Amino acid sequence: MRTVSVVIGTRPEAIKMAPVIRALQAHPGLDPVVISTGQHRQMLDETLDAFGLAADIDLQVMAPRQTLSQVTARILNGLEARLPGLGADALLVHGDTATTLAGALAGFHHGVPVVHVEAGLRSGELSSPFPEEGNRRLVGQISALHLAPTPANRANLLCEGIPDETIVVTGNTVIDALRWAGEHAVEYGDPALRDLDEDPRRIVLASAHRRDAWPQLAEIAAAFRRIADEPCTRVVIPLHRNPAVRQAILPVVAGHPDITVTDPLPYLSFMKLLKRADLIVSDSSGAQEEGPALGKPTLVLSEVTERSEAVVAGTAKLVGKTTERIVAATLELLRDPVAYDRMAGAANPYGDGRAARRTVDAVACFLGLGDRPEPFVPETPVDQFAAELARSADYERHAPQPTL
């Protein structure tokens, strides 16, 4: 039996790793140990509970108003005290958070091979999103196994000199989670949304919370308010708990009769809201994957994205952070059925619901317990997605064209 440590700390990590943890538990040769850093305290526990899971170890690192450096240091110290006694054969981290970076560093320092789930995402700009882009690039340099969701993510890794034999294209585990949640979501989780199923208005699911968006949050909130002025339109904002986000957005949107503000919703409730929504306006990384998977046109509040596949496919669009651009793009979809249907009908490039199985098979193969899994291939022609991020002169000079 091989021991696999799984380090998670945020709600998105819990969502995307829950199917992986379940698949690890079902594997006869693998024994997962789930370590929670507690980076998102309440939301993490709620999400794991929704999947019928719980952490084996809780580092409880959160303290009020910690800096990124402080929380990273506390996670490292917590793992320093727990990792040596686990005898882990591999350590899984996900994505690009402080938990991801600290978990990978701790594994690297202790000689435990690091497996990076959701590897290879790149925006091309170190400051956007911040600090996520820097975190995932750093983790990529010390990982032993890179589990890339898409062929384009694999191309990014090849461009950076990562050996092809250490990369497996798995699909994104968020699609596995989404399919499971669709069968279990029964309520919206907030009294303010109780009437949503009977509401004839078009529902715009709106959110903004990323650190690189903080200087523009008031302008983004003004866009949400103007969108709500559109006839027969209701804007629902599950508002992030961060005080900086709340202080910027709440004063702008408060009191509008067609804006509903809630606290962050439990995962299953949020999935029900996502299915009810007509379109999404958000800077959330998860929304850029979940929206396209559900056929929901998704407007991304950024100038760049690490998830370019949905933009190339046509189901997502970059609209920046200015009020005018956000409003113009949203109203076009609300007023033009042809434009709306064009985005709603675009293909989902992110997964087929079997990413967790491929992830665990790849880990088992890495540990000598099975064969390398067949890679995920999107239903749409994959060369357009890979080419989008693999055309740089550096890539063409130093790496062969990937076989997709």
| Residue of 13, 46, 89, 132 marked active site | 132
Selection from 146, 143, 35 nearest residue 99 by Cα: 35
Active-site entry in 146, 209, 225, 234: 209
* Four-residue CA torsion sign, 387, 388, 389, 392: positive
Q: Do 315 and 290 contact (CB within 8 A), yes or no? A: no
**Does the annotation count 240 as an active-site position?**
yes
Which one of the listed residues 27, 210, 234, 240 is annotated catalytic? 240
Query: Rounded to an integer, what distance in angstroms lies between the CA atom of residue 197 and that of residue 273?
Result: 10
Residue 209 among the catalytic residues = yes
Residue 306 among the catalytic residues:
no
Q: What count of Cα atoms within 13 Å lies in the side-chain half-sphere of residue 25?
A: 13
User: Has 179 been annotated as catalytic?
Assistant: no
Cis peptide before 129 (omega within 30 of 0): yes
Q: Does a cis peptide bond (omega within 30 degrees of 0) precede residue 131? A: yes
CB-CB neighbours of 106 under 10 Å: 24
DSSP string, 183-205: TT----SSGGGTTGGG--SEEEE
Which of 324, 269, 274 is CA-nearest to residue 46?
A: 269
Catalytic residue among 96, 289, 290, 361: 96
Any idea what the Cα angle at residue 361 is, between residues 185 and 162, rounded to 5°? 105
Tokens coding 66: 């910690």
Structure tokens at 48: 């794991």
What CA–CA distance (Å, rounded) separates 143 from 356? 19
211 tagged catalytic = yes
**Active-site residue 132, yes or no?**
yes
Which residue from 75, 145, 96 is spatially nearest to 116, judged by alpha carbons? 145
Which H/E stretch holds residue 115? strand 114-117
Selecting among 118, 212, 230, 289, the annotated active-site residue is: 118
Task: Indicate which residues carry an active-site annotation.
Answer: 96, 118, 132, 209, 211, 240
